[in-house]
Chains A and B, each alone.
Chain A
Amino acid sequence: MTRFLHTLALLLGAIFVVALFLPDILLIAFVLGLGRAAGRGAAQSTRGYRE
């Protein structure tokens, strides 16, 4: 859990820096795109684990 939280902290720290630079509309698109990519990755990872 701690390793996951540290990885999350590293990732979100970088995302926050990006968020500070982007205008709001681009930021929403960026976060949605990131969420979809993470969701797809998680789904593929789960499928691979089941197989």
Chain B
Amino acid sequence: MSSSTATVQAPLSRGETGALLGQTMGLVALTSGVFALGAYVGRDASGGWAIGSYIAAFALLLGINAAAQRSEQLAVGLLFGFGLLLGLAVAPTVAYYAGADPQAVWEAGGATALFIAGFGAAGYASRRDLSRLARSLYWALLALIAFGIVLVFVQIPGGALIYAIAGLAIFAGLTLFDFQRLRQTKDIRTAPLLAASIFLDVLNVFLLFLSIFGGDE
């Protein structure tokens, strides 16, 4: 399913698996820090800047995918750029909630930390193969995107809440899968890709919780 697991190599030892976990989570933490910096710097940016940042972030995401197998340093650099651009893109939204309803931002942040810690630990410890579940969740995510596009054009009562709850259910499964991949992966060079994947899980969960706590109707 993933384009990041093309090469077949010997399984990693217990020590190497621990090193991959440490390296990946370190990258996630640094990317989150860069994201927070971007969100602070871009707090007064216009909607146009936010949309431009999304487009640039998308280009960098494709770059991470391409660079992961060739140069780890380049992939890590692109990952930090990706985090910064996403911070700039999300900045006007977070700044609005921080001004209008600061409690919603704190609650969303705390709930995201608990959510990722809980499902991440469960996924890392799970012995059951979650790849089949991930395939189903991938299709569910596509259905959620289609539902989101419908919501842009059609007003459905409680639509935003349904979207948020369905999204959290899907990202719970994807978080389980991503953390299991940390233990099962056979290639230590995939750390930047795994970090990008986990960082996107964190970001999506935060935005979904913000939608719930901010009363986004």
Partners in one complex: yes
On whether the beta carbons of A17 and B3 are closer than 8 Å, the reply is: no
Please encode chain B, from 74 to 100, with 1 for each CB lying within 8 Å of some chain A CB and 0 for all others.
000000000000000110110010000
Count A interface residues, CB 8 Å.
32
Closest to B134 in A: A21
Contacts of A4 in B (CB 8 A): 47
On whether the beta carbons of B54 and A6 are closer than 8 Å, the reply is: no
**How near does chain B come to A3, taking the closest CB pair, in angstroms?**
7
On whether the beta carbons of B207 and A6 are closer than 8 Å, the reply is: yes
Contact of B93 among A9, A24, A42, A44 (CB under 8 A): A9
Count B interface residues, CB 8 Å.
44
**With an 8 A cutoff between CB atoms, is B149 at the interface?**
yes
Which chain B residues in 182-217 approach chain A with CB under 8 Å?
Answer: 193, 196-197, 200-201, 203-204, 207-208, 210-211, 216
Of the A-B pairs whose beta carbons lie under 8 Å apart in the complex, a sample of 20, sorted by A's number, is: A2-B92, A5-B47, A5-B93, A6-B211, A10-B204, A10-B207, A10-B208, A11-B149, A11-B152, A14-B204, A16-B57, A17-B141, A17-B201, A19-B62, A20-B197, A21-B138, A24-B65, A38-B149, A41-B152, A44-B153
- A residues at B contact (CB < 8 Å): 1-24, 27, 34, 37-38, 41-42, 44-45
- B residues at A contact (CB < 8 Å): 1-3, 47, 50-51, 54, 57-58, 61-62, 65-66, 89-90, 92-93, 96, 138, 141-142, 144-145, 148-153, 163, 167, 174, 193, 196-197, 200-201, 203-204, 207-208, 210-211, 216
